Chains A and B, each alone.
Chain A
């Protein structure tokens, strides 16, 4: 068990290191001059040269990489070329927004997927179950940004019940914060919910067919009761795995949803930074996102062993 976890940690560290190199190289080959973008159309060659030196982009790639990664290891992500401010605190601030969004999207997805998936599984031979399965198929096919645009049209533009976008920090005005989060969370969660519904359904169906459940049923329990008392934990193993995988998708979806709903999270920060060639900022954001995904996978692996006693060997 401990060895297993340690091996996972080692894999995590190596993956992060490799990811940092890939991110750095990818940004290095992007065409365009950060100094030119920062200075605009009236920049003189002298000023451009001075600014390149100031940014440190006149040095060799190897030097640049090691000075960047050295800083990151000390928690220093460098200074933005555009705002000239420290990137680290800005990352934390934006990460908070993205986590709220992803968290709320996850809640929406689970609230949809668990009961609907169970319903579809228990009634899989009845028309109602088939209908629910069909609906979830349609849900899977709708991308998050499209869901967002439709929701904004209905609830913000036509009905004017909810804001079409914008962000209010929870400590500033809790009511406004919640209202601002509803539509983005729904955009993100509906699609994920539809995806998860299918996994929940098949996991539950799988469990329903197991011997121990038949035993429980023979004691006179209804399928749903038997499932609740004996089957849920087993059914949750594949669902947790998928949840972990979905989290990466959720993060990608969040980038798009943040743009639609004007949320100052990592996603909108990333788009701005790429277009203004704010390379250090892009590197910092991507590293944080990659670290997030890798960490989630790590946690899922560990949870797996907790949930499923059969995996605790070795």
Chain B
């Protein structure tokens, strides 16, 4: 009897769902709604206190705007600043602001908000990248639409940092509850969120710039890569912001509903050498290991050959990019010769990697190729982030590691002797400092030298640059191929 009741209830449920299961299970209810899938979810909305790429990915350029932004080619272009000038001594920046800009809570945006936001980084932010703002000496409000920033020393890196979350403009009237209620000048505002599921962005009706094509954007967070793919295949979402494995690319390419776009990122997948530890403190040994590894084979295995061979810590979207991937061709004989010259025998190294798919598969190739030149490696996968961060990154307890370095222009980490590379070169530190203080032309010349030096020293082995693979339904266009900023920029997207 009871069973019969259950059956009846289930039948009703099935019938009810079948009625609404017309064609698809799409969340996109209408042409002006877009749904984008991501893997990593923001802990909250406050990137001034919480680190992690997921928050700026969702909010920067979409909800918050800065004075400047990065375009798809990696150039610094105007945003809330219409234009700017730099004084001859490169210490004073004059920003002319867009008129008529309002925050999403209605407060007007003026030069005093520029002063408030930049100085607030020093006083209220807790995440460590705030140190990029240390160079600001003071900010003057010349007029409501003219802000003047005076630096204590010239710094190209400072202007570049304004394109990141550090440059986001806040209103004093909108910082009471940053973790839950972000208030920015961007084309979208946060409408709602369901933790573990999604964030809904709605068009900001008071936006000063071009009206976005999609009035509602749902950011769906799906940690499991297979589930993320299935969501797109079953019409649950419209876009996968970034594919994390190459295995699923063919199934999307073979399906005429979808477009697959491939570009570059700032994410260098790097085989790190502990430069402080014998025998890796001998450049000949590091060069030998670099000759011993066929990076093309690594890239083929890990990402089906999609990705870029770079040979240094510079992605093609940086102005000082040069292709250095051919300096150390795959040459096991040369590797053995160098090891013999360095007097190294029976080398056994600990390859301590994060337990992430790309690192695990790259480690297999590295291990077998190093074995070919007589270097034994023990692979130790560590729980990421917790254990890897503690043991490898903080305690420098490793010989070799493989990890993606995702941050823009993180070549500067080779200027910090305390960083986990253990790389300490006076010349590189000096060049980095000169590059930061010089003219843009000097900066390019100096940075090229830094990249070449690191390559010559074999400070690390840059296996490949992680590709940016976006998969979208054909009806969505306007994506930037390259992921150069911290933002998943929604502002250019529009229906086909």
Contacts and interface: CB of A to CB of B under 8 A. Distances in A.
A160 B25 contact: yes
A165 B236 contact: yes
Interface string A107-130: 110110011000000000000000
A131 interface: no
A100 B19 CA distance: 22
Nearest to B383: A32
A153 B18 CA distance: 18
Q: Size range of the interface on A?
A: 35 or more
B253 interface: no
Contact of B179 (A85, A182, A277): A85
Contacts of B231: 163-166, 262
Interface stretch (A40-48, A65-73, A210-218): A40-48
A179 interface: yes
A39 B7 contact: no
Contacts of A90: 195
Given A83-B43, A166-B197, A259 B224 contact: yes
B28 interface: no
B230 interface: yes
B496 interface: no
Interface stretch (A11-19, A268-276, A294-302): A268-276
A163 B10 contact: no
Contact of A264 (B195, B391, B393): B195
B76 interface: no
B23 interface: yes
A281 B245 CA distance: 30
Interface in B1-59: 1-3, 6-7, 9-10, 13-14, 16-21, 23-25, 27, 41, 43-44, 49-52
A268 B197 CA distance: 10
Given A32-B389, A36-B390, A272 B234 contact: no
B148 interface: no
B3 A82 contact: no
A157 to B, nearest CB: 5
B195 A163 contact: no
B129 to A, nearest CB: 5
Contacts of B23: 160
Interface string B224-244: 101100110111100000000
B44 A262 contact: no
B25 A164 contact: yes
Contacts of B7: 111, 115
A298 B241 CA distance: 47
A262 B38 CA distance: 12
Interface string A235-272: 00000000000000000000000011111110011011
A156 interface: yes
B220 interface: yes
A206 interface: no
B173 interface: no
Contacts of A179: 17, 20-21, 25
A82 to B, nearest CB: 5
B390 A41 contact: no
B20 A175 contact: yes
Given A36-B394, A115-B3, A264-B197, A157 B52 contact: no
A94 interface: yes
A36 B230 CA distance: 34
Interface string A123-148: 00000000000000000000000000
16 contacts: A32-B383, A32-B390, A34-B386, A42-B128, A83-B179, A84-B49, A157-B234, A160-B25, A161-B21, A162-B17, A163-B25, A164-B25, A165-B236, A182-B14, A263-B196, A265-B196
Given A42-B127, A107-B10, A110-B6, 5 more contacts: A32-B386, A39-B128, A115-B3, A163-B231, A175-B17
- Shortest beta-carbon contacts, A-B, top 3: A32-B386, A264-B196, A40-B51
